């Protein structure tokens, strides 16, 4: 009978939706960073790499949180916490006290419940992570002891740490927003041009939701896939006419960012980690000339879209930067309030 489950946790659907929305949002930040921030030197290149690392780390953490969230199984004499590749059993007799802390915010609130073991380990359970928290936790709560004296010593306010974390995140987000303060118009002489022979016909690749792009293969650079995508694709008004402009074997003149040209065509510069492992085989074409040496990508349209994306990037990053600064202020206020309450409780 002691091995019969008397209660178990169920994950909160709302909590999972919020995490998924966070993953989508930070993925969009990566898209904006990749498309709108073109490094002009090694320093800016390293900054972009750092930005990718931070944003990707947040996304990986969100995925890790989803798959590693604690699952609680309650039995008569013990309970189990199951996580990814790990199950831990705790007897109720191992727990020397329990207490909780309630956290109030302007838009949400939650309560953290703590179970303190004899060896000093603290088990933390958060009510909003589960849709049936009080249903299963009440079965644990009534089976463990409470030490008011120990609880008063352990109930140290954490808001100060949260305030520091939110402040650092806010600063980083504002820092990333600076990548979008580039309103210089792109011109044809910003690119490095070279000529080569078309290996195959230019192909139009149709993607999801109208995200199409052109693929060009060159005879002397067959290990690379040259693409016209994103804003540059939108700068070509007539796809059919563009496809008729060149045939297999024609000599074609292509314009690239100087950084891409120096790394992958002339090989004057070394590839960084991003180039080696994420986009080694792809080179984005910035301009292409017809046989009369006239540009086929309308840079006015490219600049219009570039400016539009800049405003979106600045707006989003600034909004979330201000939001995290607001959380910094709110957590610090809560820290001072909780600190005073805890001090009064100990003296009483």
Q: DSSP states of 205-253 as a string?
A: EP-GGG--EEEE-BGGGTTSEEEE-HHHHHT-S-HHHHHHH--TT-EEE
- Per the rule left: phi > 0, alpha: psi between -120 and 50, beta: everything else, 230 is left
11 and 144 part of one domain: yes
Is residue 168 in some structural domain? no
Is residue 220 in some structural domain? yes
143 and 12 part of one domain: yes
pLDDT at 74: 95
pLDDT at 37: 66
Give the closest residue to 32 by CA, choosing from 283, 285, 313.
Answer: 313
Cα-Cα-Cα-Cα dihedral sign, residues 276, 279, 282, 286: negative
- Write the CA distances from 241 to 202, 221, 244, 246, 334, integer angstroms: 12, 25, 5, 10, 64
Find out whether 27 and 52 touch, Cβ atoms under 8 Å: no
- Write the CA distances from 172 to 51, 163, 233, integer angstroms: 9, 14, 32
Burial per residue of 98-121, b for 16 or more beta-carbon CB atoms within 10 angstroms, e otherwise: bbebebeeeeeeeeebbbbeeeee
Is residue 130 in some structural domain? yes
243 and 137 part of one domain: no
In the beta sheet, which residues pair with residue 117? Answer: 95
Is residue 338 in some structural domain? no
pLDDT at 346: 45
In this prediction the pTM is: 0.53
List, in sequence order, the alpha helices (H) in the chain: 13-36, 42-67, 133-141, 148-154, 159-177, 230-234, 239-245, 258-260, 273-277, 299-347
CATH of residue 247: 2.40.50
Reduce the DSSP state of residue 195 to 3 states and report it.
Answer: strand
138 and 39 part of one domain: yes
* Alpha-carbon span 219 to 204, nearest angstrom: 19
Domain count, the chain: 2
pLDDT at 306: 81
- Boundary of a domain, candidates 133, 155, 177: 155
Is residue 345 in some structural domain? no
Reduce the DSSP state of residue 184 to 3 states and report it.
Answer: coil
CATH of residue 107: 2.30.29.30
16 and 137 part of one domain: yes
146 and 205 part of one domain: no
**Residue range(s) defining the domain that contains residue 208:** 192-285
Find out whether 236 and 245 touch, Cβ atoms under 8 Å: no
* Alpha-carbon span 327 to 331, nearest angstrom: 6
42 and 93 part of one domain: yes
108 and 219 part of one domain: no
Is residue 135 in some structural domain? yes
Is residue 169 in some structural domain? no
- Boundary of a domain, candidates 105, 126, 155: 155
Is residue 93 in some structural domain? yes
Reduce the DSSP state of residue 73 to 3 states and report it.
Answer: strand
- Boundary of a domain, candidates 285, 303, 333: 285
95 and 223 part of one domain: no
pLDDT mean by block of 10 residues, the chain; 348 residues = 83 91 87 70 66 86 90 94 91 91 72 90 92 94 86 67 85 81 83 92 82 90 89 87 89 91 88 72 90 89 84 84 86 72 52
151 and 202 part of one domain: no
How would you class 208 by CB atoms within 10 Å of its CB: exposed for 0-12, middle for 13-18, buried for 19 or more? exposed
111 and 212 part of one domain: no
145 and 197 part of one domain: no
* Alpha-carbon span 45 to 39, nearest angstrom: 5
């Amino acid at each position: 009978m002691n091995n019969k489950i008397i209660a178990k946790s169920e994950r909160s659907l709302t909590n999972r939706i919020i995490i998924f929305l966070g993953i989508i949002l930070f993925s969009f930040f990566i898209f904006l960073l990749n498309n709108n921030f073109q490094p002009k030197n090694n320093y800016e290149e390293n900054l972009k790499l750092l930005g990718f690392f931070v944003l990707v780390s947040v996304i990986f953490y969100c995925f890790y949180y989803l798959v590693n969230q604690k699952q609680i199984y309650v039995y008569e004499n013990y309970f189990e916490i199951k996580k990814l590749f790990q199950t831990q059993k705790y007897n109720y007799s191992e727990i020397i006290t329990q207490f909780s802390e309630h956290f109030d915010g302007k838009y949400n609130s939650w309560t953290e419940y703590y179970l303190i073991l004899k060896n000093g380990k603290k088990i933390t359970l958060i009510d909003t992570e589960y849709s049936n928290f009080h249903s299963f936790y009440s079965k644990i709560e009534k089976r463990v002891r409470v030490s008011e004296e120990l609880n008063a010593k352990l109930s140290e306010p954490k808001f100060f740490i949260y305030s520091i974390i939110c402040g650092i995140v806010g600063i980083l987000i504002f820092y990333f927003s600076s990548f979008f303060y580039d309103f210089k118009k792109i011109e044809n002489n910003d690119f490095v041009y070279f000529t080569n022979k078309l290996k195959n016909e230019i192909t139009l690749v149709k993607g999801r939701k109208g995200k199409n792009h052109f693929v060009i293969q060159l005879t002397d650079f067959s290990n690379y896939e040259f693409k016209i995508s994103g804003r540059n694709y939108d700068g070509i008004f007539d796809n059919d006419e563009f496809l008729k402009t060149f045939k297999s074997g024609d000599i074609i003149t292509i314009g690239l960012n100087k950084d891409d040209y120096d790394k992958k065509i002339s090989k004057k510069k070394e590839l960084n980690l991003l180039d080696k492992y994420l986009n080694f085989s792809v080179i984005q074409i910035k301009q292409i000339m017809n046989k009369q040496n006239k540009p086929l990508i309308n840079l006015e349209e490219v600049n219009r879209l570039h400016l539009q994306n800049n405003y979106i990037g600045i707006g989003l990053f600034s909004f979330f930067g201000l939001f995290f600064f607001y959380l910094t202020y709110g957590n610090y206020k809560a820290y001072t309030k909780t600190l005073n309450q805890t001090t009064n409780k100990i003296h009483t």
